[in-house]
Amino acid sequence: MTIETSNFMKLNLRSRSSSRERPLTNLQITNSLIRTNSCNNKKLIDDINLINPSTSSSSGSYTSSSYTESDSNNNLLIYPKIDSNSEPRRLNATCIKYGELVVLGYNGGLKNSNQSRRKSKFVLNRRDLPNGVKPCSQHVLQTQQEADNLIQKNPNHSVTYTLSRNQTVVVQYTSDDKTDMFQIGRSSESAIDFIVLDTRVPNLKILNQNQQSTISRFSCRIVVEREYPYTARIYAAGFDATKRIFLGEKATKWTNEKGEMDGVTTNGVLIMHPTNGFIGNDSKSNEWMEVSVCGAVFSLSETRLTPMISRVQTNNPNKNNILRDGTLIDLCGATLLWRSIEGLQKTPTKHYLDMNLEYLNNLRPQCPVGLKTLVFQTESTPMPSMDTMSSSSSLNSPDRIPMVYLKCGHVHGNHEWGIKKDNDRECPLCRKVGPYVQLVMGVEPSLYTDTDFLNMNNLFKPYAFRPCGHMASEKTCKYWSRILVPQGTTQGLNSICPFCSITLCKEQPYVKLIFQEGV
C-alpha cells in the first residue's frame, strides 16, 4: 500500500497560525464575488406521487419507489428511488435537505454535549425563510469611527477591512432571498448554527495541556441556493451577533480585479475536493486550498501563502468554493466532511451497517483460545463490557468482546495469552507479534463510500483501520487511507481514521479481518 504523499507532505501548516504576520498585499485576485446563479428552477414536487410511508424510522426505509427517513428534528423526508441515469429529484413532506456536514472523529455521536447546536453531524435543511446575504456596496473611510457610523446607519451585514489607521474599507451586504446561510464556528452565540470545537486526536501528543483552541469563533459560512441543484458555497469567516466580520490590520487582504476587497482569516479555512469524488473506486486526495472571505480559492505553498495568491486559477473548475459530495473542510482543529443530498442517497443506511454485524454474529465467530463465541454489538445485542464481571457464559462477558491482532487480522476474544513487552501480543494462529485491540464498528453511515448496499446479499467484507481497530468495509478503509487531512497546526497532512481521527499507520493503514467460524 502506498500513499501518495508527493506534494502534500511538504505542506507546512505552521504558516496558518502565523498568518497574522503576513504582509499587507495589493495583489490582483480573480473575482469571486459574483455568484453564478445556475439554478434551473426544476419543479420538484409536481410530477411525483407522494408515497405514504408505513413507518418513519430514524434509519430510513425503502418502498418500491421511494426512500423515506426522518431527520434529527423528526421532519419526514421522502426521496423518490434513485435511478442512476436520471437526475436525482426529491419530494419533501415538510422540508428539503441540502446535505450534511459530518465532523471527522466522532463515529456517529458526541459524548458530553448538551448543546443542540453542537453535535457530530449537522443537517442543512432549506430554511422556512431565506436568510442569505450578498455584497452590495463598498465604502472607503478614513477612520474606524467613520466606519462605525456608516454601519450604525445601515445595520445590515457588513465586512470591515482595516487597512491602516487612516484607511478602512467597509463592504455592506444586503438580503438575498435566493440563498440560505449557515454559519459554523466555536462560538456559542446564536449567530452560529453549528458549533464545532477542536477534535481531540488520540495519538497526537498534547504539548501544552492548556493549549488554546485554534478554531475561530466565527469560522466560516456556507451559502446554499434555495433552488435545485442547491449549490452550496463556502466562505471564510462568519458574521457575529452584530452581523459584522472584522479583518484587522494584520490580516492578509487584497483588492481583486473588480476592485473589491477580499482577505483571509487568521488560521484559515481550507478545502479539498477529492479527485474522482467520494464514492469513486479510484478516488484520491487532491490539493488542499484556502478559501477567502469572498469565496476565492487559492493554493497553499510550503513557504508562505502570499506569493501563491497570484496563482489562482479560477478557470479551473476544480478550484472553486462550491461544495461537492466528499469535499473536506478544515477549520484548523476540526475537519468536516460535506455530503451532498445526491451522495447521501447512495450511502449505506444504519440498518445496512447493523445487518453486517448481525451477519457476523450469525456466523458465530469463535475465539480459538477461549473457545467462546464472539459477539458484536447490534441494536438487539448489547455491547459486552470490559468491566462487566458477569459470568463467562453471559453474552456480556468480556471474553466475548471481539479483538484483533493488527499485524495479521486474526480475530480473537479478550484473553491474556501471548503478552509480550510494550503490550504487544503474539497471535497464537500465525505467531506474528503486534498490537491487539478491540474491534469497534464504524457506525456513522455518512463516512462510508460504499454504494452497493441496496442488494442486501451484498454485505461487505470487514476490514479494520490500524492502529485503532475501527471496523468498516474494504472500500471505505481504502478510501480514507488515501485521503490526507491536516492535523493540528504543525503535524502536516496524514491519512486518518474517519471514526476517531487517529493518524493511520503509514504502512498497512488497514487490515482484513479473519474470523474463525464456530459451529
Select 125 or 476, whichever has its Cβ closest to Zn ion: 476
Least distance between Zn ion and beta carbon 430 (Å): 3
Q: Which one of the spans 111-119, 315-323, 398-406, 484-492 is the region binding Zn ion (CB under 5 A)?
A: 398-406
**Are 2 and 231 a contacting pair, CB within 8 Å?**
no
CB of 468 to Zn ion, least distance (A): 3
Alpha-carbon distance of 391 to 124, in angstroms, equals 47
Rule CB under 5 A: which of 416-435 touch Zn ion?
A: 427, 429-430
Determine the Cα–Cα distance for residues 382 and 416; give it in Å rounded to an integer. Answer: 23
Q: DSSP label at 450?
A: -
Q: Cβ closer to Zn ion: 238 or 370?
A: 370
Q: Using the rule CB under 5 A, which residue among 346, 410, 412, 425 binds Zn ion?
A: 410
Closest by CA position to 291, among listed 248, 322, 251, 317: 322
User: How far is Cα 326 from Cα 321, in angstroms, rounded to an integer?
Assistant: 13
Residue 13 found at the interface with Zn ion (CB under 5 A): no
Minimum distance from CB of 214 to Zn ion (Å)?
22
Q: How many residues bind Zn ion (CB under 5 A)?
A: 11
**Segment contacting Zn ion by CB under 5 A, of 276-284, 330-338, 409-417, 503-511:** 409-417
Binding to Zn ion by residue 118, rule CB under 5 A?
no
Q: How far is the CB of 372 from Zn ion (least distance, A)?
A: 18
Which residue is it, cell 451577533? 241
Nearer to Zn ion, 161 or 436 (CB): 436
CA–CA distance, 450 with 456 (Å, rounded to integer):
13
Which of 77, 500, 505, 511 is in the footprint of Zn ion by CB under 5 A? 500
CB of 255 to Zn ion, least distance (A): 45
CB of 344 or CB of 441, closer to Zn ion: 441
Nearest-approach distance from CB 137 to Zn ion, in angstroms: 49
Q: How far is the CB of 281 from Zn ion (least distance, A)?
A: 23
3-class SS shares of the chain: helix, strand, coil, % to 5: 15, 30, 60
Nearer to Zn ion, 265 or 476 (CB): 476
Pick 103 or 271: Cβ nearer Zn ion: 103
Min separation Cβ 502 and Zn ion, Å: 5
Stretch that binds Zn ion, among 79-87, 260-268, 386-394, 403-411 (CB under 5 A): 403-411
For position 408 contacting Zn ion by CB under 5 A, the verdict is yes
Cα gap 401→366, rounded to integer Å: 11
Q: What nine digits make up the cell of 40?
A: 434551473
Of 81 and 200, nearer to Zn ion (C-beta) is 200
Name which position in 98, 376, 499, 515 contacts Zn ion (CB under 5 A). 499
| Distance of closest approach, residue 105 Cβ to Zn ion, in angstroms | 8
- Side-by-side strand order, sheet with 91-92: 61-62, 66-70, 76-80, 91-92
State which of positions 261-280 bind Zn ion (CB under 5 A): none
d(C-alpha 36, C-alpha 373), whole Å: 59
Q: C-beta of 500: minimal distance to Zn ion in Å?
A: 3
Measured CA distances, 216 to 132, 181, 353, 427 (Å): 21, 18, 35, 46
Instruction: Give the SS3 label for residue 176.
Output: strand
Q: Which is nearer to Zn ion, 245 or 427 (CB)?
A: 427
Binding to Zn ion, residues 439-498 (CB under 5 A): 468, 470, 497
Give the list of residues 6+ apart from residue 171 with CB closer than 8 angstroms, or none: 135, 137, 138, 139, 158, 159, 161, 260, 261
Nearer to Zn ion, 104 or 261 (CB): 104
Beta carbon nearer to Zn ion, 291 or 497: 497
DSSP string covering 315-383: TSTTSSSB--TT-EEE-SS-EEEEEEHHHHHTSPPHHHHHHHHHHHHHT-BB-TTT-PBP----SSSPP
- Cell representation of residue 226: 434555495
Q: Considering beta carbons, is residue 230 or 480 the nearer one to Zn ion?
A: 480
Which is closer to Zn ion, CB of 405 or CB of 436? 405
Cα(140)–Cα(120) distance, integer angstroms: 41
Q: In the numeric block, which cell numbers belong to residue 151?
A: 454601519
d(CA 251, CA 162): 9
In the complex, the smallest distance separating the C-beta of residue 449 from Zn ion, rounded to whole angstroms, is 16
Q: Which three cell numbers, joined as nine digits, stand for 329?
A: 473542510
- Least distance from Zn ion to the Cβ atom of residue 451, Å: 22
Site of interaction with Zn ion (CB under 5 A): 405, 408, 410, 427, 429-430, 468, 470, 497, 499-500
